Amino acid sequence: MQNSDFRDGCAFVRGNFVPIADAMIPITDTGFTRSDVTYDVVAVWDGKFFRLQQHLDRFEKSWQAIDMRPGVNQAQVREVLHQCVSKSGLRNAYVEMLITRGVPTAGERDPRNFINQFYAFAIPYIWIADAQEQQQGVDLVISKTAERISPQSVDPTVKNFHWGDLNRGLREALEAGAKTAVLLDNDGWVTEGPGFNIFAFVDGRLVTPASGVLLGITRQTILDLANEQGIDCEIGELGVKQLQSADEIFLTSTAGGVMPVRSLDGQVVGEGKPGPLTMSLRELYWREHGGDRWTEPVAYGDPQTKISLLAS
């Protein structure tokens, strides 16, 4: 049930639901001190989760990949997420789930001995690009100062907090008067940026990088929709020259959907405004948020829902 304390958001911390402003983790949690954490973010739009099952599957894959034992299963995570949104009463929400390695006991250096912690929270929906930017397109740069961390070091398919490279690219973009940056890998291929995947429409094909990136759920949704529209898609290598010659470029993220790019390194992309393919995929993407096939209504105040989680 909605409670005014939860109006700005609701978090699940160590077995309890608390107002977002009161949600705290111990300062020694290695999720904070060592970025030893994995997480996922799902959107709620107009009272419905979008592609929740895909987010839960990716989250579980991530926690298994880095040997976390969260003490919860998918069904319990789902229930907590419903409760966080329900308690907040939010109709459009940004819903995050996390597992941290946890707090070491004094002197303990072996992470296998830590008790992993599951957290979650729901806050008002976040837009990487605001409504005006989405209508006009955002200015993108290719980062010259930051290279994407090698997948051999940090697996980008396991959603993570190793944002040193992405943050550096973002600062570079902002200093250059742009909105955000895309990073290249060590071989010079285009990868992704702070919180988004990238697509380029080149020579009549929609291209998105195959590797060195998070397998974004929004990226997958765009591939699904584009395939249904009979648009030729390629999941492969995306080079700088291809990006520079693209007729359209857009970014995809749970936090903002499909975001058109109007300039790349100060050069106009296409006609310098969102292109027709980008806008039609964007329209289809948001239309699906009101449909049934990929949505799950939030259990607002559902008396059937019982939290079966144990406080840890």
Residue 214 touches ligand PLP, criterion: CB under 6 A: yes
Of 86, 252, 278, 295, the one binding ligand PLP by CB under 6 A? 252
DSSP label at 299? -
Residue in the structure block whose two tokens are 């990238």: 198
Return the structure tokens found at 69: 């034992």
Of 67-75, 115-123, 140-148, 217-225, the window that binds ligand PLP (rule: CB under 6 A) is 217-225
Pairing of strands 48-50, 197-202: unpaired
- Total interface residues for ligand PLP by CB under 6 A: 13
100 with 31: CB under 8 angstroms? Answer: yes
Cβ contacts of residue 256 below 8 Å, gap of 6+? Answer: 126, 127, 128, 129, 134, 196
- State in angstroms the smallest separation of the CB of 127 from ligand PLP: 12
| β partners of residue 109 | none
Pick between residue 58 and residue 101 the one whose CB is nearest to ligand PLP.
58
- State in angstroms the smallest separation of the CB of 30 from ligand PLP: 20
206 with 226: CB under 8 angstroms? Answer: yes
Q: CA-CA distance, 76 to 221, in Å (whole number)?
A: 25
Nearest to 29 by CA among 45, 14, 19, 43: 14
Give burial (CB, 10 Å; 0-12/13-18/19+) of 19: middle
- Name residues contacting ligand PLP, limited to 218-237 (CB under 6 A): 218-219
Nearest to 57 by CA among 191, 220, 212, 208: 220
Of 19-27, 98-106, 195-203, 269-277, the window that binds ligand PLP (rule: CB under 6 A) is 195-203
Return the structure tokens found at 119: 């957290």
- State in angstroms the smallest separation of the CB of 217 from ligand PLP: 4
Pick between residue 89 and residue 257 the one whose CB is nearest to ligand PLP.
257
Mark residues 14-53: x for contact with ligand PLP by CB under 6 A, - for none: ---------------------------x------------
Pick between residue 31 and residue 216 the one whose CB is nearest to ligand PLP.
216
Of 65-73, 249-257, 262-270, 274-282, the window that binds ligand PLP (rule: CB under 6 A) is 249-257
Pick between residue 103 and residue 140 the one whose CB is nearest to ligand PLP.
140
Q: CA-CA distance, 16 to 312, in Å (whole number)?
A: 9
Q: CA-CA distance, 149 to 162, in Å (whole number)?
A: 9
Give burial (CB, 10 Å; 0-12/13-18/19+) of 188: exposed
- State in angstroms the smallest separation of the CB of 312 from ligand PLP: 26
Pick between residue 85 and residue 95 the one whose CB is nearest to ligand PLP.
95
Pick between residue 185 and residue 192 the one whose CB is nearest to ligand PLP.
192
Residue 253 touches ligand PLP, criterion: CB under 6 A: yes
Of 62, 86, 116, 197, the one binding ligand PLP by CB under 6 A? 197
Return the structure tokens found at 211: 């590797």
Of 254, 259, 288, 298, the one binding ligand PLP by CB under 6 A? 254
Q: Alpha helix (H) ranges present in 121-216?
A: 131-136, 164-175
Footprint of ligand PLP (CB under 6 A): 41, 192, 195-197, 214, 216-219, 252-254
